[in-house]
Every structure is written in C-alpha cells, then in structure tokens.
C-alpha cells in the first residue's frame, strides 16, 4: 500500500520541451524530439519528468503566460504527440508532472479578451478589477527592476486590472467558484492524457485573497484541499507539487494538518541555506533550515533542488548572508537579478569544478525529500549571460559536438546554444560524457541509482550528528530498522572527524556505498574518518546484514 506514494522516493527531472530536442528541424524543440530522447532520460534513472509549460502562449514569460489551457503549442507538436510522449514515459515506468499555471493567464487569453471588452462579459469577474489605481499598486512586484506595478490600466475595459507578475499576466480571480471549477477541469483534462500530477505555479498567490479592498490579503487554504480532493477522486496517485516560497511556520497550512492539502512543496529555505553553506563553508544555517522544515505529515514530501529555471532566490537570507553568496557565486552585477538572486547555472557558479559539483549534488540528494534536477545539470551545462533575465540559464540541451550541439538541424535555434568558453557544446556535451567513465553524466547516473536504493531519505527520520566542525555535515537517517550515515565535507581542505553513529550494536561497522571503503569503530565506539577536501561519503550502518533487515517498500 505504502509504495503507492511514489513521490516519496522519486527522482524528478525537469525540462522544457522548447529547448530539449528538435525533431522537425525548425529550431524549436518539440514532443517528437523529446520522445526520441526518452531512452536517454530513462537511462539516467529518473523516475519522473516535470514538463515546463507547453500550452499555446505568446511566449513572453517562457510559456508561463498561457492562452489556451487545453492544447499544445503548435510549435511543440499536437495533443497526439503529447499522448505519444506520456505513453512512452509509461512504458518506461516514468511518471509525468506538468506545470499548472493558474494564478494568471496571458492577456491574450480569450477569457481576458472577453472580460476587458464588455463589463457584462461572463468572464469579467474571472479577473480582478479596480476603477481607480490602488494606492499600493507599486508594492509587491515580483520582478523588481523589470515590472513596475501590480495594477495596470486597460484602455478597453476602462479599469485597472491586477497582475502579481508581469503586466501581460492578468491574475485570475481564483475565489470565483467558476474559476475554481475551470481549474479542476484543466487538471482533469491532463490527467486523462496520462499525467501523474502538477507542479503548481506560484501557490501562495493562487490562494491569496485578491483585490484592491484587501489591505492584508489572507490565504484561502481550503482551496488546496478542493484541488487535492478532486485529483484524488479522479486518479488516486496523482499529486500536486507546489511552488511556494514561504516561511517554514506556514508549511503545515500548505500540507494540511492531516496531509489533506498538497502532497509536495519545494523546500526554498533549505535551498537558500544550502547555497550559503557552500559559499561560507558553514553548515549552521542549513541545519537550522532543516530543523525548521522538519515537521510535516507522514504522506507529505519536500522537493529538494539546487537550481531551477528561475533565478536562485536568496531573498530569505540576511543581507550579510546574501552578500556572502553573491561574492562566492555571482560577484558581477550582471550575474545577479531582481535585487535578490543569482541567475547563473550551477556549474559556472562552481567554476566547472567537478569535485565541487559532485559535493553539491550529493548534498542536495541527501536532503530529506525528493531530489529535483534540471536538464543539462547532469553534464554540468553553463549559461549565457548575454541573454536577458532568466533566459541565460535556459539554453538548448547540448547533445553532441555537431552544429547547434545536436539540438536542431536549423541554423536558427529558439535560444542560442552555448558556443563559447569552457561550457561550449563542442567539448561539453552528452555524447562526449557518455564515453568517459569519470564524466559528470556517468557519475550522476550512479548517484541517482544510489539515491533510489536509499529510501530512508525519502521516508525516514533524520538527525544531525555534531562533530564540532561547522564545515562538516553528518546526517543519519533511520527507517524500518535501517540506518544510513551521510557525511559531507564543505571545507576546501582535508579534515579528520570522529563519529559515533549512535545505533547501538550496529554502530561498529560502516559500509561505504559510494566507494568500497568501510570503517570499523574503535573500542570507544567512535569512527575516525579522514575526509578529503569536498568529500562526500554515504554509509550503511551495521554492514551488509541490512539486506536481511530491509523490508519491502
Ligand atoms: C513562477 C515561475 C516563473 C514565472 C512565474 C510567473 O515563479 O517559476 O518562471 O515567471 O511563476 O508565472
């Protein structure tokens, strides 16, 4: 029964159809291309794919401005191609999550066009209007420096409309029962076409009270239960993975006391403090974020990640902490974005140093929850800072050293392929790394395999074991009589630590599951571990008899 909760021990791979693989040679990635690359994705060992928006859209926010929720953008293919893709995933045992962008539509959506044209339109009340410009219209913009206001006057409507994000993304009036019903219908539609759930965009804004009259908008949490219930009735194993950059104390409201709201959320506090730990060599803040996000219902789960398609948002760190991360990973103004984050990909942040990349991914994969990686991470792809805003980290997948990195036969790819510097496609690509046993790609495949074999992380409880060294993180996970001990050395130099795993008689032996080195405790029950610079060690506690103790999940 419990194995039905597939998302508790999953590895999620996020990609954009647009920049993954172009089959028809028009320069734009498509579902046919993606389907042809499914064996590559399956080979990595991931268990689920998260697709970024692929519905028809004017494309002003990379598809996060949808103009038709029930179709595939013709640039990417047809609904038929989509179903071919979900079928291909099913055959390979891979689940599909898709983005659900319902906080707002595109201003080109027929609902908005109707709403603005006529005060009596049935869609008028699907959006948020105000006759005058609200006094706080310039507060709460999500993209400072690019977006000026959250209220814009529409000439045709003769009124101001509310938009939390860019002005071409009018907010839906999600409190309107008709809008809620439509959201359910959209979910129901894609569920029928083979998806296992949704990455819900901008959840705190979806559920916020909206309108000029709300000075301190409250969250309408019961809405999350409505979505969840509907999904479960239609298809029991489908989930919602929420994008909610919130304070830890609110987590339980999103998951629901009884786990009856959304099943998953990205763990933004851990994400930010993990980068701080990498930048400062001090794990204290990370341990605090872990502790603050510990509490959750049994069936709930966090998505852990390093970089995504947006900027690395450091908005919840203190000014000094943020400055430390900026200095280490994004010192130039051009690398920073929206006064709060870094827009680079991970590999350039870490100077393309494979050892540090391995440390970062190993650390993220060992955080309590389900790891989420992004296309190109597995080969250490770079960025193109000449592209505006977040586009710098959204360049096409680098498959080979052929022209355009093998992404397209066209000379005119939808975004330029990286063709200069150390991250250029001619030497950084899948084909090359497939051949090399020590490549990041082959390492990542092994990491994913190992992570799947350690369900303790997704399911179990953990404790942090103090070694007196702030740059070393030792975590022990326990689940169903099994324990694993995971050690990371964030120092750029070797370090010696002494650890008592604290598992009684089983503590004597630690079996290394990355390399073949084991460790025996001394007569005081301590393990003396010599860690190289940036070392990561994963151990089973108590040796190989875990195979006998292990219960089926
Ligand atoms: C989310 C997406 C981001 C998008 C925004 C507006 O934050 O991750 O890419 O711009 O929502 O839809």
Same domain, 139 and 97: no
Full-prediction pTM beyond 0.85?
A: yes
Distance, in Å, from the CA atom of 307 to the CA atom of 157, rounded to the nearest integer, reads 40
Q: What distance in angstroms lies between residue 307's CA and the mean position of ligand 1's atoms?
A: 14
Closest-CA residue to 259 (of 290, 302, 223, 225): 225
Residues 225, 281: one domain?
yes
Question: What is the per-residue pLDDT for 1?
Answer: 43
Residue 183 lies in a domain: no
Best probe residue, ligand 1, of 66, 100, 165 (max atoms within 8 Å of C-beta): 165
- Measuring CA to CA, how many Å separate 340 from each of 12, 142, 288, 290? 26, 11, 21, 22
117 domain residue, yes or no: yes
| Closest alpha carbon to 160 in 182, 175, 184, 138 | 138
Q: What would the pLDDT profile of 434-447 be if each residue is shown by its tens digit?
A: 999 999 999 999 99
In this structure, are 335 and 473 located in the same domain? Answer: no
**Ligand 1 centroid vs 543 CA: distance in angstroms?**
45
127 lines ligand 1 (CB under 6 A): no
Q: Which residues contact 468 (CB under 8 A, 6 or more apart)?
A: none
Whether residue 142 is found in the same domain as residue 278: no
Q: Is the pLDDT of residue 553 over 50?
A: no
Q: Is residue 175, in this structure, part of any structural domain at all? A: no
Which CATH number is 152's domain given?
Answer: 3.90.400.10
What is the per-residue pLDDT for 65?
A: 98
Nearest protein CA to atom 8 of ligand 1, as residue: 310
Q: What is the pLDDT of residue 2?
A: 56
Q: What is the pLDDT of residue 136?
A: 92
CB of 52 within 6 A of ligand 1: the answer is: no
Tokens describing residue 459:
């399911």
Indicate if 354 and 433 belong to the same structural domain.
yes
CATH of the domain at 539: 2.60.40.1180
Q: Is residue 552's pLDDT more than 50?
A: no
How far does the centroid of ligand 1 lie from the alpha carbon of residue 15, in Å? Answer: 14
For residue 64, the ligand 1 atom closest to its alpha carbon is: 12
> What's the pLDDT at 506?
85
Among candidate residues 452, 472, 488, the one where a domain is terminated: 452
Please tell me the predicted confidence (pLDDT) of residue 515.
Answer: 81
Render 135-167 in DSSP notation, one character per residue. Answer: TTTTSS-SSBTTB--SEEEETTTTEEEE-SS-T
Question: Is 412 a member of any domain?
Answer: yes
- CATH number of the domain that residue 259 is part of: 3.20.20.80
What is the average pLDDT across 470-497?
96
| Distance, CA of 223 to CA of 227 (rounded, Å) | 6
Question: Do 491 and 436 have their domain in common?
Answer: no
Distance CA 108, CA 63 (A): 12
Residues 274 and 396 reside in one and the same domain: yes
Tokens (6 digits) for 74:
């013709």
- Distance from the first to the final alpha carbon of the chain: 9
User: Residue 218: how many CB atoms within 10 A of its CB?
Assistant: 9
Phi-psi category of 196—alpha, beta or left, where left has phi over 0 and alpha has psi -120 to 50? Answer: alpha
User: Which of helix, strand or coil describes residue 239?
Assistant: strand
Q: The domain containing residue 544 runs over which residues?
A: 458-549
pLDDT tens figures, 317-350: 999 999 999 999 999 999 999 999 999 999 999 9
Say if CB 262 and CB 297 are below 8 A apart.
no
Residue keyed to tokens 């907010």: 171
Q: List pLDDT tens digits, range 275-288.
A: 999 999 999 999 99
Residue 189 lies in a domain: no
Confidence of residue 505 (pLDDT cuts 50, 70, 90): confident
On whether the CB atoms of residues 167 and 154 are closer than 8 A, the answer is no
171 within ligand 1 shell (Cβ under 6 A): no
Q: Above 70 in pLDDT, residue 543?
A: no
Q: Which residues, in sequence order, are bridge partners of residue 144?
A: 147
Going by pLDDT thresholds of 50, 70 and 90, the confidence category of residue 548 is: low
- Provide mean pLDDT across the span 361-375: 98
pLDDT of residue 550: 52
Tell me, yes or no, whether 145 and 51 share the same domain.
no
Note whether 254 and 349 are same-domain residues: yes
Q: What percent of the chain has pLDDT over 90?
A: 94
Domain presence at residue 301: yes
* Domain annotation covers residue 445: yes
Mean pLDDT of the chain: 96
Same domain, 409 and 474: no
Q: What is the pLDDT at residue 546?
A: 53
381 inside domain: yes
Which of 400, 427, 452 corresponds to the end of one domain? Answer: 452
What are the pLDDT digits (tens) for 86-134?
A: 999 999 999 999 999 999 999 999 999 999 999 999 999 999 999 999 9
Q: Which of 398, 425, 452 is the last residue of a domain?
A: 452
Three-class SS state of 198: strand
User: Which pLDDT score is estimated for 20?
Assistant: 99
98 in the same domain as 37: yes
For residues 66 and 82, what is the distance between their CA atoms, to the nearest angstrom? 17
Q: How far is the CA of 112 from the centre of ligand 1 (A)?
A: 19
- Count of structural domains, the chain: 3
Q: What is the pLDDT of residues 50-61, one digit of tens each?
A: 999 999 999 999
**165: Cβ below 6 Å to ligand 1?**
yes
On whether both 437 and 469 belong to a single domain, the answer is no
Give CA–CA dist 460/103, Å, rounded: 34
Q: Is the CB of 310 under 6 A from ligand 1?
A: yes
């Amino acid at each position: 029964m419990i194995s039905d909760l597939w998302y508790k021990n999953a590895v999620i791979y996020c990609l954009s159809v647009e920049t993954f693989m172009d089959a028809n040679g028009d320069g734009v990635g498509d579902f046919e291309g993606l389907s042809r690359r499914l064996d590559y994705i399956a080979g990595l060992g991931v268990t689920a794919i998260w697709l970024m928006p692929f519905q028809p859209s004017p494309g002003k926010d990379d598809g996060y401005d949808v103009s038709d929720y029930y179709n595939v953008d013709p640039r990417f293919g047809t609904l038929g191609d989509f179903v071919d893709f979900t079928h291909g995933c099913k055959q390979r045992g891979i689940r599909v999550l898709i983005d659900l962008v319902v906080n707002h539509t595109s201003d080109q959506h027929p609902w908005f066009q109707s709403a603005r044209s006529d005060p009596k339109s049935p869609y008028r009340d699907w959006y948020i209007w105000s006759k005058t410009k609200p006094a706080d219209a310039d507060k709460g913009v999500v993209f400072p420096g690019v977006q000026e206001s959250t209220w814009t006057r529409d000439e045709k409507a003769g009124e101001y409309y509310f938009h939390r994000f860019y002005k071409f993304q009018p907010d839906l009036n999600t409190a309107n029962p008709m809008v809620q019903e439509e959201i359910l219908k959209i979910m129901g539609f894609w569920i029928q076409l083979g998806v296992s759930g949704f990455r819900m965009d901008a959840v705190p804004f979806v559920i916020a009270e909206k309108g000029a009259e709300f000075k301190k908008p409250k969250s309408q949490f019961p809405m999350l239960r409505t979505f969840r219930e509907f999904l479960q009735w239609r298809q029991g194993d489908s989930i919602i993975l929420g994008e909610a950059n919130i304070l830890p104390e609110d987590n339980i409201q999103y998951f629901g006391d009884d786990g009856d709201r959304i099943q998953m959320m990205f763990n933004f506090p851990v994400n930010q403090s993990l980068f701080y730990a990498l930048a400062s060599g001090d794990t204290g803040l990370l341990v605090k974020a872990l502790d603050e996000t510990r509490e959750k219902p049994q069936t709930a789960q966090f998505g852990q990640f390093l970089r995504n398609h947006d900027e690395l948002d450091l908005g919840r760190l203190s000014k000094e902490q943020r400055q430390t991360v900026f200095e280490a990973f994004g010192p130039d103004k051009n690398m920073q974005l929206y006064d709060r984050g870094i827009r680079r990909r991970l590999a350039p942040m870490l100077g393309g140093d494979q050892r540090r990349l391995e440390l970062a991914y190993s650390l993220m994969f060992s955080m309590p929850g389900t790891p989420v990686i992004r296309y190109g991470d597995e080969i250490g792809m770079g960025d193109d800072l000449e592209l505006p805003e977040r586009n710098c980290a959204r360049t096409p997948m680098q498959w080979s050293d052929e022209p355009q990195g093998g992404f397209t036969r066209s000379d005119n790819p939808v975004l330029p392929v990286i063709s200069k510097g150390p991250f250029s496609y001619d030497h950084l690509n899948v084909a090359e790394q497939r051949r090399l046993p020590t490549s990041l790609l082959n390492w990542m495949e092994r990491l994913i395999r190992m992570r799947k074999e350690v369900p303790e992380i997704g399911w179990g409880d953990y404790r942090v074991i103090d070694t007196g060294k702030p740059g070393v993180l030792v975590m022990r996970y326990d689940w169903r009589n099994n324990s694993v001990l995971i050690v990371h050395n964030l120092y750029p130099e070797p370090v010696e630590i002494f650890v008592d795993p604290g598992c009684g008689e089983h503590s004597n032996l630690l079996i290394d599951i990355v390399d073949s080195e084991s460790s025996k405790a001394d007569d005081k029950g301590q393990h003396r571990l010599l860690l190289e610079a940036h070392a990561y060690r994963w151990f089973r506690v108590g040796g190989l008899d875990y195979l006998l103790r292990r219960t089926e999940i």
